[in-house]
Structures are given as C-alpha cells and as structure tokens.
Amino acid sequence: MGLYPYKIRINDPDLVGVLKLVSSRRAVRIPNIKTAQRAGIKLKPIRRDIFIGTDNRYYKSFIGLPPEIDLDFIKKGKGYDFIFKNIF
C-alpha cells in the first residue's frame, strides 16, 4: 500500500460528478460506458484497490471504494484534484 496518498487531476465533468458521488456514498453507478472507460484509464495505477466493474444482473457499471480508502477532492482551476488516501 505504498501508493497512498494518490492524487489525480480530472477535468472531465462527467467523471468529476461520478467521483464526487463516490466521495460521499462510497459506491455509485457509472452513467455510461464511455465514462466507465475513462475512469478505468485514469485510475489504472490503483485499479486493483478500487472496484470498477459491472453488475451481471442489470449490466450497469459501478465504482466503489474499499473500507480502508477515503476520497477527498479540491477544486483546482477548471478541474478537481482527487486524493485517495488510507484511513488507517
């Protein structure tokens, strides 16, 4: 777990909205497949810790945080900095 805290800057408004919801709810549905693909590419270094996948029952994509990781965000210019960090 040497990657944390991990900070990324995101300017895509769809992905910013999804990650803001993840920050408060811990798990959310991703609205469309293009946003899910962009999330997977942007979060590639920590993808093994963060769940990005589909629900086989409804065929919708979801993103979720494990209990030991927290997500904060800070507005920076036109985008946001999202900071993934260990709680413990």
Q: How many domains does one find in the chain?
A: 1
Closest to 19 measured CA to CA, from 33, 2, 31, 1: 31
* pLDDT band at residue 2 under the 50/70/90 scheme: low
- Which domain does 42 fall in, by range? 6-86
Under a CB-based contact definition with an 8 Å cutoff, are residues 82 and 63 in contact?
A: no
Answer yes or no: is 11 within a domain. Answer: yes
List the alpha helices (DSSP H) in the chain. 13-25, 33-42
Measuring CA to CA, how many Å separate 14 from each of 17, 39, 69, 85? 5, 10, 22, 22
Residue pLDDT, tens place only, 28-56: 999 888 888 888 888 887 778 888 888 77
Answer yes or no: is 21 within a domain. Answer: yes
Answer yes or no: is 80 within a domain. Answer: yes
Answer yes or no: is 1 within a domain. Answer: no
